[in-house]
Amino acid sequence: MDMDQMMFRKGLMTGERILVTGGGTGLGREMAEGFLSLGAEVHICGRRGGVLQDTADALMEKHGGEVFTHPCDIRVPDVISEMNDLIWDRHGPLTGLVNNAAGNFISRTEDISIRGFDAIANIVFRGTFAMTHDIGKRWIAAGDKGSVLSILTTWVWNGGPFTVPSAMSKAGINVMTQSLAVEWARYGLRLNAIAPGPFPTEGMTKRLAPDADSTDEMAADGSNPMGRIGRMHELVNLAVFLMGPGAEYVNGQTIGIDGAAFNASGGNFAALASWGDEQWEAAARAIKATNAKDRAKRTV
Ligand code: NAP
């Protein structure tokens, strides 16, 4: 990320202790870097221990400070609790949680098995709730303040054709954000969400646009009125604004950051209705190969 584009003063997040789920890669890694560079203690979790450690080492080398890694599968509530016990015991209470971990792939919905549906929903819907629930209960029991930021998509507003398990799950987390913002405000907890348009990550290209050479191609088709994809610092500045001190009255909001693609063209994969069997078969093969490669690196 281009650090010159950060909007905030140095040290803004000193004293914050933030867990970013899926913080080893993509947007999670970028947000972790933003928080660290502004003085926060950062914790990242994911299923690939080596990927987490490489990220932590790279970020600490660049910015100093402390990034702690936690191999953890958010689909397993007991594993979430064990990780949070360890964080609370060794480091102290978190002040913030970023629900960023997710899985997704494009498919015709009639081709998805219930197992395939569960593979996504168990991470995005159930896992995100389990993490928020475990950490929320700790904050409430101790009377600590805390902030939760969930990374959604603009599909929570208009549906996600060809990404239905993800769209359904993210929509559920959108409602969780709105509900708990009200229910838990009396405990000093707040919940917000960001709905990004396309940003250049491997997760985006490999499973959502396996036929595109890069996410740039996704903006070149006229669907985005700004004619481009997002830049990492733009997302990170918004995440810092929502998680840092000074924006406490922002609660229960889902904020889009997509160059107005949602307004212009729906910002989803509706255009894939024109694909035929051959394109879907090629996409399924590419996604399967990516899954196998990632699975081989998992340590939990
Ligand atoms: P990504 O690099 O694939 O990030 C997903 C992360 O989640 C990975 O680090 C992955 O690590 C982790 N993860 C997946 N399943 C997990 C599990 N069961 N337990 C723990 N960690 C798990 O993709 P990304 O593009 O950065 O996506 C980040 C977030 O932004 C997602 O919520 C995505 O829906 C959202 N988003 C992205 C875009 C975009 O254009 N990039 C647009 C809209 C929304 P492991 O595989 O090691 O577990």
Looking from the CA of residue 48, the nearest atom of ligand 1 is: 47
Please give the distance, rounded to the nearest whole angstrom, from the Cα atom of residue 100 to the centre of ligand 1.
Answer: 6
Nearest to 32 by CA among 81, 101, 129, 109: 101
Report residue 144 CA to chain centroid gap: 24
Please give the distance, rounded to the nearest whole angstrom, from the Cα atom of residue 228 to the centre of ligand 1.
Answer: 21
Ligand 1 proximal residues by C-beta, below 6 Å: 21-22, 24-28, 45-48, 51, 72-75, 100-104, 123, 127, 151, 153, 196, 198-199, 201-204, 294
Please give the distance, rounded to the nearest whole angstrom, from the Cα atom of residue 197 to the centre of ligand 1.
Answer: 14
What's the confidence (pLDDT) of residue 125?
Answer: 98
Q: Would residue 145 count as lying in a domain?
A: yes
pTM of the complete model: 0.96
What's the confidence (pLDDT) of residue 217?
Answer: 67
Q: Would residue 105 count as lying in a domain?
A: yes
Residues 19 and 107: their CA atoms lie apart, in Å, by 31
Identify the burial level of 252 via C-beta atoms within 10 angstroms of its C-beta, where 0-12 means exposed, 13-18 middle and 19 or more buried: middle
From 30, 47, 234, give the residue whose CB has the most ligand 1 atoms within 8 Å, as the site to mutate.
47
Residues 50 and 171: their CA atoms lie apart, in Å, by 31
| C-alpha neighbours within 13 Å on the C-beta side of residue 283 | 20
What's the confidence (pLDDT) of residue 218?
Answer: 66
What's the confidence (pLDDT) of residue 214?
Answer: 59
What's the confidence (pLDDT) of residue 263?
Answer: 96
Q: Would residue 124 count as lying in a domain?
A: yes
Report residue 58 CA to chain centroid gap: 20
Residue nearest ligand 1's atom 26 by CA = 26
Q: Would residue 2 count as lying in a domain?
A: no
Residue nearest ligand 1's atom 13 by CA = 101
Q: Would residue 28 count as lying in a domain?
A: yes
Please give the distance, rounded to the nearest whole angstrom, from the Cα atom of residue 143 to the centre of ligand 1.
Answer: 31
From 27, 123, 232, 295, give the residue whose CB has the most ligand 1 atoms within 8 Å, as the site to mutate.
27
What's the confidence (pLDDT) of residue 205?
Answer: 76
From 1, 19, 20, 25, give the residue whose CB has the most ligand 1 atoms within 8 Å, as the site to mutate.
25
Please give the distance, rounded to the nearest whole angstrom, from the Cα atom of residue 142 to the centre of ligand 1.
Answer: 30
Report helix angle 164-183 to 128-142, nearest 10. 10
Please give the distance, rounded to the nearest whole angstrom, from the Cα atom of residue 151 to the centre of ligand 1.
Answer: 9
Q: Would residue 3 count as lying in a domain?
A: no
Residue numbers of the domain that contains 51: 8-295
Please give the distance, rounded to the nearest whole angstrom, from the Cα atom of residue 22 to the centre of ligand 1.
Answer: 6
Report helix angle 26-37 to 232-243, nearest 10. 60
What's the confidence (pLDDT) of residue 106?
Answer: 94
Per-residue pLDDT 10s for the chain (300 aa) are 888 898 999 999 999 999 999 999 999 999 999 999 999 999 999 999 999 999 999 999 999 999 999 999 999 999 999 999 999 999 999 999 999 999 989 999 999 999 999 999 999 999 999 999 999 999 999 999 999 999 999 999 999 999 999 999 999 999 999 999 999 999 999 999 999 999 999 877 776 777 665 566 667 678 899 999 999 999 999 999 999 999 999 999 999 999 999 999 999 999 999 999 999 999 999 998 988 888 888 888
How many domains is the chain partitioned into structurally? 1
Task: Give the domain CATH number at 192.
Answer: 3.40.50.720
Q: Would residue 33 count as lying in a domain?
A: yes
Looking from the CA of residue 199, the nearest atom of ligand 1 is: 40
Q: Would residue 41 count as lying in a domain?
A: yes
